[in-house]
Structure 1
């Protein structure tokens, strides 16, 4: 946790982090040596159902509230240890996302200045492991041991590579020290992975390579995305056949066709039609009807309204709306690939949240259906209701 949080320390960051680690190591050695000495002097041995620390507490405090205080303090230390992961793992995901090896949503901080997405991801992963192993500590310890010594081995090996590249003053001694640490950690990792493989260690052995492959694929995707979206010098002639990826365009090169889906004539649809007509671009209204008779009735209503815009009706006998409309727009795009289709959908804005499940949210479904179609822009015209 300290190594991952070095940038969060006050200047000089590395010196303060090293001081913190030094004090932590000193306290750990003092506590461990003291406990081992007390356990040896009392002649305690491990037994099922009770830890050595609990036995030591019963021997030292046979009466009074001190034993309960010891157990409560131990629980608080374990809680702090678990909380350390929630403090630092989101920061680690932030560093990975910054380098392109994790989704960029882990870069964002929440309202409480914490990496909320990382906290949620860790909570879900911890809950999944807890349920899968039924909270059995004996099964979780091998998983923990393999994961910890894998991290130790990788960090020590990384320091060996660091000293070989930097070659600063005293680098031979530092490289040798980290090489010994990497070797010892690697031996413990190998022993724990083999001995406890069937008891839960297999999860780490299988999951870590899969996670590495996943992070590499994420990094490759971001690299390809950066290359595709980068600005390039204008080419003398358009490259690639029609239907390829969208390229750079100048404003005067964009030609519009505005399409307004109209389910029924009401205040929301008329507002969308008025907005589309105000843009001064060729505009087309599209109505999806379940049968021909209903299409004829809507044409009569359209004529009574004034037939201000061109109307296309599509009969969908299975009462589907999104699919036929998406296919129609795709056909328009295929026949006129030079056009940019701007689909304007009215959206009723509801003031009460419990009203939202009562509506189908057609604009969101249409946006999802048309997302893969190049040259199509979906925009909404909000209509606010008083209730």
Structure 2
């Protein structure tokens, strides 16, 4: 449960951090957008959510293009920068002015290096998305996933080495994201190497795209993780339901809502989200590594022992990084991650407990009981005589001889009108037949309440007929167009909700729909 909660939180924070970092790159190039950071973050989040709700194949096509553009632009910047470093004797001249170092710089120390290493470990997040989504690859899935993971690690290593080398050579320093003159490291690097020309803006644009769309790894992995938990009854079963576009829509929407809430709370600033992100990522890595240590510990051959040693080193390394981040960033927000993980574990256990309770409650080990079966008392709520009411009443007559219509009136004139229509359209036509005539009951409700008088009437009916079920037949108008839904008061839906919650175990609710494009019933 700890690993699942940490991984879920890692996915959520990856969305928030990726989008906020992308917007940070944008405002570095266009400082006038700095006051609109949060609005930009939420807009990008909404766009990514819509793309993922369209389906995995469509989102993959959308994400491929900016990825290639980013690699081409960033690769060009790094190659040009390294050439200039080599031809200038290691001291290149920046093509654009760079921010001056802050006066708060401190000398390097062992603790500073350890903190830097721990923060750098959080960059590993996203790599595990390849392993989590092996089944989404084309066949042969395992081979393609391995090739993808290998290419990803190689590209990340080359980018990291190039950026670190040029940052040192050009004397680039970090700036405060709260400052209107904020400049990200990549923005300073691109400006220093190529100036603020077209290549700079294409590079920043591709950086924005790749950082913001890096959240797509979470939109791919988070719904699958939720599905696994839902299948084991630790999350609501709706998370395991595939939507119309063959994606887990509930998981995608939930991820977007929670990530959006985090962006709002922390103002879309990356530095404020990093402490939470680091704890979730490193805890997930540590738990997964220890899990693999235990797995390979069951293998006695040399290959299993070798893999166990590799995972043991990984677990110790990420565990040490986690301890450093907790110690260094606890008061900066790392404690929030621990609270959230604890709350998620509590939620998992409560959901599991509920499903176990329902399973015990509904389990039926005995054969079907067919003794003492009686036709129900059918009650049809009636507002006025109409085709909608007539269809519900006809259905009620097919299931019981004891049919009653109930009209809840607000004044005497309305009551007289309904009674007159009832005599003309129901009592007189059925008087000469062998069918029992339904009875009309009226209740005065001067305060225009519907559910209260109806529930009182049902209690009295159940008391008078202790051996019978009470079936409430609700006439319901169903509009042909979705927007017509808002033109009606939806009393039927409100009545159904009240009856299901407060009607009692002997009350059965039946909805009889009448469609606005429904043809006339044959006589």
1:171 aligns with 2:304: yes
| Mapping of residues 1-387 of structure 1, within 5 Å | 1-10=129-138, 13-48=141-176, 49-62=182-195, 64-165=197-298, 170-234=303-367, 249-250=369-370, 253=373, 255-290=375-410, 298-299=418-419, 302-304=422-424, 305-306=426-427, 308-334=437-463, 336-372=465-501, 373-385=504-516
Does structure 2 conserve the Cα–Cα contact (< 8 Å) formed by 1:263 and 1:287? yes
What are the Cα deviations for residues 286-317 of structure 1, in whole angstroms up to 9, with x where unaligned?
A: 22234678656655554454272123333334
Q: Deviations over 1:63-91 (max 9, x none)?
A: 64332232223223213312222222222
Q: RMSD between aligned alpha carbons?
A: 2.9
- String of CA shifts for 1:300-359, please: whole Å, max 9, x gaps: 554454272123333334321112212322343355453222211212233344443332
Contiguous gaps of at least 5 residues in structure 1: 235-247
> Structure 1 pair 261/51, CA: closer, same or farther in 2 (3 Å)?
closer
- Judge conservation of contact 1:90–1:118 (CA < 8 Å) in 2: yes
- Matches of 2:203 and 2:487, distance apart in 1: 56
- Greater mean deviation of Cα atoms: 133-142 or 181-190: 181-190
Alpha-carbon separation, structure 2, partners of 1:10 and 1:320 = 60
Match of 2:79 in 1: none
Distance 1:132 1:185 in 2: 28
Q: What CA distance in whole angstroms lies between the structure 2 residues aligned with 1:338 and 1:10? A: 61
CA distance in 1 between partners of 2:262 and 2:301 (Å): 43
**Structure 1 stretch displaced more, 200-209 or 327-336:** 327-336
Aligned length: 374
Supply the distance in 1 between the matched residues of 2:141 and 2:244 (Cα, whole angstroms).
Answer: 26
Contact 1:160 1:178 (8 Å CA) reproduced: yes
Mapped to 2, the partners of 1:46 and 1:359 lie a distance apart of 58
Q: Is 1:96–1:102's contact at 8 Å kept on the other side of the alignment?
A: yes
CA distance in 2, matches of 1:306, 1:73: 76
> Structure 2: which 5+ residue stretches go unaligned?
1-128, 177-181, 429-436, 519-523
TM-score by length of 2: 0.64
Cα distance in 1 between the residues matched to 2:405 and 2:196: 85
Taking CA–CA contacts closer than 8 Å with sequence separation of 6 or more, which of the two structures ends up with the larger relative contact order?
2
Contact map agreement 2:376 2:399 (CA 8 A) in 1: no
Give the drift of 1:369. 0.9
Q: Return the offset for 1:165.
A: 4.7
CA distance in structure 2 between the aligned counterparts of 1:192 and 1:131, rounded to whole angstroms: 24
Shift of residue 137 of structure 1? 1.7
Distance, in Å, in 1 between the alignment partners of 2:448 and 2:195 is 78
Per the TM alignment, residue 210 of structure 1 is displaced from its structure 2 partner at its CA by 0.4
Shift of residue 249, structure 1, vs aligned partner: 4.5
State the distance in 1 between where 2:284 and 2:353 align: 24
Distance 1:40 1:89, change over 3 A: same
Q: Is the 8 A contact 1:103 1:218 kept in 2?
A: yes
The structure-2 alpha-carbon separation of the partners of 1:128 and 1:34, relative to structure 1 and needing over 3 Å to count, comes to same
Shift in CA distance, 40/229, structure 1 to aligned 2, threshold 3 Å: same
How many angstroms apart in 2 are the aligned matches of 1:362 and 1:231?
Answer: 35
Query: Aligned partners of 1:65, 1:353: CA distance in 2, in Å?
Result: 48
C-alpha distance 58-263 of structure 1, shift in aligned 2 (>3 A):
closer
Q: CA deviation at 1:251?
A: 8.8
**Hey, what's the Cα distance between the residues in 1 that align with 2:208 and 2:221?**
20
Superposed CA deviations along residues 36-65 of structure 1, whole A, max 9, x for unmatched, are: 223334444445533333333233213643
Contact 1:101 1:216 in 2 (8 A): yes
Distance in 2 between the 1:13 and 1:168 partners? 26
Are the counterparts in 2 of residues 326 and 366 from structure 1 also a CA contact under 8 Å?
A: no
Distance in structure 2 (CA, Å) of the matches to 1:325 and 1:225: 29
Q: Is the 8 A contact 1:89 1:122 kept in 2?
A: yes
Q: Report what 2:54 is aligned to.
A: none
Deviation at 1:129, TM superposition (A): 0.8
Supply the distance in 1 between the matched residues of 2:374 and 2:334 (Cα, whole angstroms).
58
Instruction: Tell whether the 8 Å contact from 2:405 to 2:441 is kept in structure 1 after alignment.
Output: yes
State the secondary structure of the residue aligned to 1:288. strand
**TM-score, normalization: structure 1?**
0.85
